[in-house]
């Protein structure tokens, strides 16, 4: 559904702007001093929520919820066709977990206090495994959302929030480089700020 894929891409754009590079290696090396999970913590949480929706994992396992009593394809398929469903699901989980590790947890870079203790490949596997554990933890602890609740959250809450944070990141980078003059800052105060303050919020449905 496009409701969560738009802000999914907006979060990636935030990381690209902070790293100043489109390559995975550039993103990782830009996190040498601190991981982006700290300064971009709201984006990291929102990205994880988008990962749950993208992989159809609980609480956003909506295709399975269509036949909730018999758990959908869990009943209709068996043997290797059943295994292929879960291979695809867990493969996408591991791929997005690796993507999260690259973008927010420094990829193969170790924590500063533990530098040199383990090789980079081991750190990367550990980080990916932690994110995979979070998939299982969320599945076991949160109830399922309805279609309208997921779409409302995507359009009314996460999309305005990620756009607002993207504007904040752009201005923070440009102000840090000294690129903005008084007219640019005044334009943001007159036009951008009122829009963000009046952005719609998610109501309980």
Q: For the residues 168-176, what does the mean pLDDT come to?
A: 83
CB count within 10 Å of CB 7 equals 26
Which of 34, 19, 49 lies closest to 169 in space, CA to CA?
19
Instruction: Tell me the pTM.
Output: 0.79
Smallest CA-to-CA distance from 8 within 71, 40, 42, 54 is with 54
Cα–Cα dist 105/77, whole Å: 37
The residue whose two tokens read 């750190």 is 123
First to last CA, the chain: 19
Of the candidate ranges 21-25, 29-33, 42-46, 181-185, the one whose mean pLDDT is the lowest: 181-185
The pLDDT assigned to 181 comes to 47
Say if residue 39's pLDDT is above 50.
Answer: yes
pLDDT tens track for 81-122: 888 888 888 899 999 999 999 999 999 999 877 777 888 899
Q: Determine the average pLDDT of the residues in 157-169.
A: 90
Task: Categorize the per-residue pLDDT at 203 as very low, low, confident or very high, splitting at 50, 70 and 90.
Answer: very low
Mean pLDDT of the chain: 80
Q: Compute the distance between CA of residue 32 and CA of residue 105 in angstroms, rounded to an integer.
A: 10
Q: Is the pLDDT of residue 142 over 80?
A: yes
Rounded to an integer, the average pLDDT of 154-166 is: 89
Q: Are 4 and 154 in contact, with CB atoms under 8 Å apart? A: yes
Q: Give alpha helix (H) positions in the chain.
A: 2-19, 24-29, 41-54, 62-65, 73-76, 79-104, 120-141, 147-152, 159-177, 182-187, 193-197
Over residues 166-182, the mean pLDDT reads 72
């Amino acid at each position: 559904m496009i409701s969560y894929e738009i802000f999914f891409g907006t979060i990636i754009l935030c990381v690209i702007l902070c790293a100043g590079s489109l390559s995975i290696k550039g993103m990782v090396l830009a996190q040498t001093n601190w991981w982006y999970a700290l300064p971009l913590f709201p984006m990291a949480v929102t990205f994880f929520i988008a990962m749950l929706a993208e992989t159809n994992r609980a609480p956003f396992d909506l295709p399975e919820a269509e036949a909730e009593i018999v758990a959908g394809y869990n009943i209709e398929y068996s043997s290797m066709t059943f295994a292929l469903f879960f291979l695809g699901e867990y493969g996408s989980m591991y791929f997005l977990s690796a993507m999260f590790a690259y973008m927010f947890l420094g990829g193969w870079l170790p924590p500063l206090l533990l530098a040199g203790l383990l090789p980079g490949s081991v750190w990367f596997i550990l980080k990916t495994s932690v994110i995979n554990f979070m998939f299982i933890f969320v599945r076991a602890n949160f109830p399922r959302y309805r279609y309208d609740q997921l779409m409302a959250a995507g359009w009314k809450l996460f999309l305005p929030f990620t756009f607002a944070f993207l504007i904040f990141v752009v201005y923070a980078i440009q102000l840090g480089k000294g690129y903005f003059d008084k007219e640019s800052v005044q334009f943001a105060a007159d036009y951008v700020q009122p829009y963000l303050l009046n952005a719609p919020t998610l109501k309980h449905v």
